[in-house]
Chain A
Amino acid sequence: MPKRSLTVVSAALLLILSWFASAPALAKNSNSLQVKGSDTMVNLVQAWVEEYMKKEPQAFIAVTGGGSGTGLAALINGTCDIAVSSRQIKGQERELAGKKGVTPTEYKVALDGLAVVVNPANPVSQLTLDQLVDIFTGKIKNWKELGGEDLNIVILSREVNSGTHVYFKEHVLRKNDAKSTAEFSSDALMMPSSQAIADEVKNNRSAVGYYGMGYIGKDHKAVSVAKAEGSPHVFPSVERVIAGDYPISRPLFFYVNGQGSEDVKKFMDFILSPEGQAIVTQVDFVPIQIKS
């Protein structure tokens, strides 16, 4: 009896092992692409892929999130074909890629407005960039100082592996000034995803957070932002970002190794086509201007 069960177990083990061995091989055979990176852009990329796979049924594209840094690291390590990033690649990453024989080629694929969001019950609905800096660095601690209720501000930020975190720090807190040393307040709660920020804002009337426009739901209130005291406050909408008046907007990128394979090129062509850019608007991001 024990002998027989041993045979069964080892047969089962062999079966499992052979499955593991064959799975990656199978994936390589068909024209499958691994796309990895920015959490902000996951919905957008998923929408592109669904539409693309309808047109090209033999194509198989797997989309995973994890953060822009994670995607770029995967491209450098050769474990994905396209890195999706909501920030530009860093010099340090380019250098490392060079050492590993990877040359990241940049494609601007869409634009995004970063929304600053609060609970709908919060009376504050417009802020200036300077006020945002003071909130997120911890200088303003109570909503009272901004004309709101007497509640301590709860700052919500993304983790450091997020392109959105890096963008917000460099372009809002540091105002694009390379010499600035402004940092998020150490009291800021670091949330693992944009969805986690959205959930906390929904349930917490003293919370303030930031994420891509695509995440704004009916349980959150996006704040209108003014460039400076006295300038008009602009609400984050697709039209305002295209017009260039919304102060916190950013380009979104795809990075591929060198020219990329035929399959990668085909997919990139689709994304940059008018058809691909039409999908961008559907998921609440902002299309780039296509040169024709």
Chain B
Amino acid sequence: MTVFQKFREGLVEWVIRASGVASIFIVALILIFLLKEGGGLFQTQKLGDFLLGQKWYPISEPGEFGILPLILGSILVTLGAAAISVPLGVAAAIYIAEVAPSYLKELLKSGVEILAAIPSVVLGFVGLATIVPWMKIIFHLPTGLTAFSGSVVLAFMAMPTIVSIAEDALHSVPRSYKEGAYALGATHWQTIYRVVLPAASPGIMAAVMLGIGRVVGETMAVMMITGNAASIPRGILYPVRTLTATIAAEMGETVQGSEHYFALFSIGIVLFVITFIINMTADMFLHREPK
């Protein structure tokens, strides 16, 4: 190896190492920034009042910064979306991976990918024009801007993530497992239900968690169709305000360094913690040793 080659390889190695470290470095910087900016709130507010307070009146004097209604709003919308998208997504993945004929398989896969490519503001707009009025008529509600409307639209957003990752997991189940099942006289459905699904379950759980992660962080569509009322939600058919929509709707107004500004960053920390836990859980499922 010439000196030049050695130098060149050393350089390449250094560049890719820097790229690898960069992502962690950036996450660390974002976290430090969030903590620094969000921490300012707790010089004047108690952590308990912030997390468990029931009133969100950020621009009043003095402002009230209780985010319990917002946390519950986010949870409600997310649970609703999961209840719709998980069964649908996993069933679609099973169909694509195990049942569909190959021409249909390709068609369905690209269909799911197109669904993933639709910008959330477009889905929100479509939801506003269709789902919101339907909700109002179907459930005889005073308004169609409800948590459930948000859940339905978000379910469409979580579906592509769930389907494609779960499909990958099902696809990577070794062929010998299935052959073994068939050799024992199991039917196609029994093989799927008793052998393929359990073998792929860590991957499917990861798919579900990543799908939920996408729902928690989604902003634009929920802001358009959940009504944004900051009261403790009384049910899934009532308007709610989510954490993400609060940041997006209010950030334009805040004066840098004000309590309101700090409070929005503190909401950012709460969101960061929630998505961090969700991603960690997904990661645990993915890297669990197969039994």
Contact = CB atoms under 8 A, between A and B. Distances in A.
Interface of A: 66-67, 69-70, 73, 92-93, 96, 151-154, 159-161, 166, 181, 183, 185-192, 200, 203-204, 206-207
B136 interface: yes
Contact of B256 (A96, A154, A186): A96
* Closest CB pairs A-B (n = 4): A161-B253, A69-B253, A186-B231, A190-B228
Interface string B244-266: 00000110111111100000000
A189 B252 contact: no
Contacts of A190: 227-230, 241, 249
Interface stretch (B57-65, B76-84, B177-185): B57-65
Contacts, number: 75
B145 interface: yes
Contact of B239 (A67, A73, A187, A206): A187
Given A159-B228, A191-B228, A192-B223, A207 B143 contact: yes
A189 B143 contact: yes
A189 B69 CA distance: 14
A41 B223 CA distance: 23
Interface residues of B, number: 30
A20 B148 CA distance: 42
16 contacts: A67-B252, A70-B253, A73-B252, A73-B255, A93-B255, A96-B257, A151-B142, A153-B142, A159-B249, A159-B250, A161-B252, A185-B231, A186-B229, A187-B231, A189-B239, A190-B241
A189 B145 contact: yes
A203 B239 CA distance: 17
Most chain B Cβ neighbours within 10 Å, of A93, A160, A185:
A160
Interface in B222-244: 223-224, 227-231, 239, 241
B50 interface: no
B133 interface: yes
Contacts of A161: 249-250, 252-253
B156 interface: no
A186 B249 contact: no
Contacts of A160: 58-59, 249-250, 253
B171 interface: no
A124 to B, nearest CB: 15
Contacts of B257: 96
Interface of B: 55-60, 69, 133, 136, 142-143, 145, 223-224, 227-231, 239, 241, 249-250, 252-258
A160 B251 CA distance: 10
A192 B230 CA distance: 14
A207 B141 CA distance: 12
A185 B57 CA distance: 10
B69 A186 contact: yes
Given A66-B252, A189-B145, A206-B142, A166 B228 contact: no
B56 A186 contact: yes
Contacts of B229: 186-190
Given A186-B55, A189-B228, A69 B143 contact: no
A207 B56 CA distance: 22
A79 to B, nearest CB: 12
Nearest to A186: B231
Given A160-B58, A187-B239, A192-B223, A204 B253 contact: no
Given A160-B250, A161-B253, A183-B60, A200 B143 contact: yes
B230 A186 contact: yes
B252 A181 contact: no
